[in-house]
Amino acid sequence: MKIEHLPLELLRTFLWVAERGGVSRTAEALGRTQPAISLQLKRLEGLAGGPLFRRQGRSWSMTERGELLAGYARQMLRLNDEALTTLTKPSVAGTVRIGIPNDFADTFLSRILAGFGEAHSAVSLEVTCDLSVNLLKLLDKGDLDLALALPDGARSPGPLASWTQRVVWVGAPGLRLAPEVPVPLVLYPEGCGYRRRLLAALEGEQRRWRVVYSSASLVGLQAALMAGLGVTALSELVVPAGLAVLGLDLGLPALPSLEVGLFARTARLAPAAQRLAEHIKATLAPAHATEAPWPRARPLPATQPPGAPAGTRAAT
């Protein structure tokens, strides 16, 4: 009896296409030809029993069958990588000091720690959560071994790995913004990469704004946003449940994407730190990514204006 199976290399390609939004971007990222990627997808669709993507112009989105397969694919690839790590590499011990941005800590920290702790029980982790600018300062001082951060410009040495994240406007469901009044902003403190991009985009459109709430905690921002105090900018992957990705129909400018990098204190990492770096790269890479702890928020129609408390800063 012939036993069918889903080849892991096809599943990796499938998740790359889902993450990148099409074959051409995937081929460019992997350094392969588009026909080669398309052939792998066609073979996988044959094994899966139907189409995995639907195309609308240049836009690609997963079918219901594709969404179902994606969940299985992520689990299969994660288990494969964990098994290889556990079986082929010797055990290590020691302490690794790692810094993670506040919003990424709230979303990705459990994913990063879960598989690593099981495979490396003799390694202790000291985790610092802060703004990226502060984490990189600690890294430069030698107080951290690794930092997952949003760099402000080029750094030397460069990141061990990097990932591009789409930045979106976020607010309460049904939020409306009056075009004649300054945009109410809920922001991280000065030095935050999201804050710089958001303000630069508003200034570029000559749109007035005011900061109505500031907090270094994603939980604090979430409370203010849920109360309808204003809007903020976040990576699409860290939008908390209960909040909505706001459409540009509200008069808000498009936001540039950001690069998240994994940075090391030194090129010669200790074995435990090197092992954690490899684990993070495998966990956050598109072909290895697991589902976010909460669903991505969806754009919702605007129906109700937010409250309008006095702001702390204004620009014209």
**pLDDT value, residue 299:** 35
Instruction: Return the pLDDT at 286.
Output: 55
Low-confidence ranges of the chain (pLDDT < 70): 1-3, 89-90, 285-316
pLDDT value of position 222 = 92
The per-residue pLDDT for 289 is 37
User: Which residue, among 152, 134, 154, 151, has the nearest Cα to 143 in the 3D structure?
Assistant: 134
Question: What are the structural domains of the chain?
Answer: 8-85 (1.10.10.10), 92-164+258-284 (3.40.190.10), 167-257+297-315 (3.40.190.10)
State the pLDDT at residue 40.
Answer: 94
Q: What was the pLDDT predicted at 164?
A: 83
- Give the pLDDT score at 25: 81
